[in-house]
Amino acid sequence: MRSTFVALSILAGQAFAGVFMTNPTASTTAVGGTAFTINWQDDNKTPTLASIGPVEVGIFVGNVIQQTEVFQINASVDVSKVSSLSFTIPTTIGPNSNNYFVRMTSLALPSPEDAKFKYQSFSSKFQLCSHEHYYFPHLHHRCPNIYWRLQLNLQRCLQHHQRCHRYQG
């Protein structure tokens, strides 16, 4: 894990934009072990996607003061050349919470607000359910008590966003 300290003004100062992430949103639930796609578009405000260029993309937890990368998705992807990134959510990413977000950091472009930092773009915070056990149904036969307890946790997490129907069955 890597912690990064950023100036409060950078997260608060979303008046400037550039990369606008259309997924994940605040109603997104990501599930460990399943495919996930980040999508973005140019919001036609400066800076342009071409000037932002290659970015480092990761899943983070944290707040406006301190952010910790829990999973690096891509070390260098040019936001002006592609508009989505697909990957598998790791099952080991961390506890279930709705405090995860995607952060993009330009490898080259300085922040318009503070040239000490690089340009950054943030997604909404989204829910992540990290359920290794869900993918090991054989546990049910070996130790049914543990399996059902884990299943219950999964359903509670998913029901939080009324998405459980997608993953049960």
Ligand X SMILES: *[C@@H]1O[C@H](CO)[C@@H](O)[C@H](O)[C@H]1NC(C)=O
**CB 87 → ligand X: shortest distance, Å?**
7
Contacts of 97 (CB under 8 A, 6+ apart): 61, 127, 128
Q: To the nearest whole angstrom, how small is the minimum distance from the Cβ of residue 162 to ligand X?
A: 31
Least distance in Å: CB of 20 to ligand X?
Answer: 18
Q: Least Å distance between CB 56 and ligand X?
A: 10
> In terms of CB distance, is 84 or 168 closer to ligand X?
84
Q: Is 35 in the site for ligand X (CB under 6 A)?
A: no
Burial of 58-71, coded b for 16+ CB within 10 Å and e otherwise, reads bbbbbeeeebebbb
Q: Does the N-terminal peptide bond of residue 24 adopt cis geometry, omega within 30 degrees of 0?
A: yes
Question: Does 74 participate in binding ligand X (rule CB under 6 A)?
Answer: yes
Place of tokens 């998705």: 73
Give the one residue of 77, 89, 102, 104 binding ligand X; rule: CB under 6 A. Answer: 77
* Interface size with ligand X, residues (CB under 6 A): 3
Q: Which amino acid is at 36?
A: F
Q: Side chain identity at 51, as an amino acid letter? A: S
Contacting residues toward ligand X, per CB under 6 A: 74, 77, 82
